[in-house]
């Protein structure tokens, strides 16, 4: 069911992209939208992990430097039947963690110094299991595709706004009306909003799924529940100094940037209270 739901959201995002392209530029607009999506997906597929690690200042660590982290990672990776990801530490006092990479064979997991300092063994195990669940479920690739399609929709809307400012859309070279009118106006404002909501819904769905898979990987939910409670408390008062807003959607909890935030409706993460409540009600079954 979760796979079907994810597929349906990606299909809806693609539909929004094509419809917006058609409304704003006719057949030519749809072709441009599809080209943008393909190019952006290609870049994201091969380079999103490097960008996330570079922008956060993550540094690779060896087994000798962090044997505790390696022991937890190797044990859980064996349970999940995936290769051990490359391990990184982010020089940040705010506790957090994220996974990135296009597949289990090309994955990296990064944790902040703050997380390593405050988590006990059970809590660290819960956090790592959550991140490995993202790797095992190909969530990083799925989220990257969704983000690039949503970005292409926004880009098309921006093109439409500039076209209206400088004389409307006119006709394309095939003789079709290339947008304009009430439909194009609606697409300029509604298409990016619809794409954003679908992207956020997908992100929230994958967070719940990673919590569930992580608990099944460990065999109990106490460690992850305690970790989420602790992360929620610390992240309300310690702003991140390393993780950028573009990387925040990858994190186990939304980082605190030291300023007011928008309503939870527009957050990439479900409320921590809801995640913890779902975990408390969960019946744990072994991971297969």
Just list the catalytic residues.
Answer: 131
Determine contact, residues 210/130, Cβ cutoff 8 Å: yes
Tokens 């990387």 appear where? 247
d(CA 231, CA 156): 38
What whole-number distance in Å separates Cα of residue 250 and Cα of residue 115? 15
CA dist 249 to 140, 151, 195, 206, Å? 10, 15, 16, 11
Task: List, as one string, the DSSP characters of 126-139.
Answer: HHHHHHHHHHHTTH
Q: What single-letter DSSP state applies at residue 247?
A: T
Report the C-alpha gap between 143 and 34 in whole angstroms.
Answer: 18
What are the helix (H) ranges across the chain?
A: 2-56, 67-80, 113-118, 121-136, 139-165, 181-218, 222-234, 272-280
Sheet of 59-60, strands arranged across: 59-60, 86-90, 107-112, 97-101
Is residue 87 helix, strand or coil? strand
């Amino acid at each position: 069911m979760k796979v079907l739901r994810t597929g349906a959201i990606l299909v809806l995002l693609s539909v929004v992209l094509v419809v917006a392209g058609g409304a704003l530029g006719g057949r030519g607009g749809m072709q441009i939208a599809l080209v943008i999506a393909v190019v952006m997906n290609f870049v994201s597929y091969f380079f999103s992990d490097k960008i996330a690690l570079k922008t956060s200042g993550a540094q690779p660590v060896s087994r000798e430097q962090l044997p505790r982290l390696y022991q937890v990672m190797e044990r859980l990776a064996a349970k999940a039947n995936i290769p051990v990801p490359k391990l990184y530490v982010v020089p940040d006092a705010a506790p957090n963690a994220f996974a990135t990479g296009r597949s289990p064979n090309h994955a990296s997991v990064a944790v902040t110094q703050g997380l390593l300092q405050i988590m006990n063994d059970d809590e660290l195990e819960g956090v790592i299991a959550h991140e490995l669940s993202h790797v095992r479920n190909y969530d990083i690739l799925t989220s990257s595709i969704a983000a690039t399609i949503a970005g292409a929709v926004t880009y098309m809307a921006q093109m439409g706004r500039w076209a209206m400012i400088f004389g409307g859309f006119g006709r394309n070279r095939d003789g079709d009306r290339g947008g304009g009118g009430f439909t194009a106006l609606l697409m300029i404002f509604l298409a990016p909003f619809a794409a954003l909501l679908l992207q956020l819904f997908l992100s929230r769905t994958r967070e719940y799924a990673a919590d569930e898979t992580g608990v099944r990987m460990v065999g109990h939910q106490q460690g992850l529940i305690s970790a989420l409670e602790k992360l929620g408390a610390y992240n309300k008062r310690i702003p991140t100094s390393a993780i950028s807003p573009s990387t925040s959607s990858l994190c186990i909890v939304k980082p605190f940037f030291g300023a007011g935030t928008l309503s939870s409706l527009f957050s990439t993460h479900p409320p921590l209270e809801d995640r913890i409540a779902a975990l408390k009600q969960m019946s744990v079954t072994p991971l297969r």
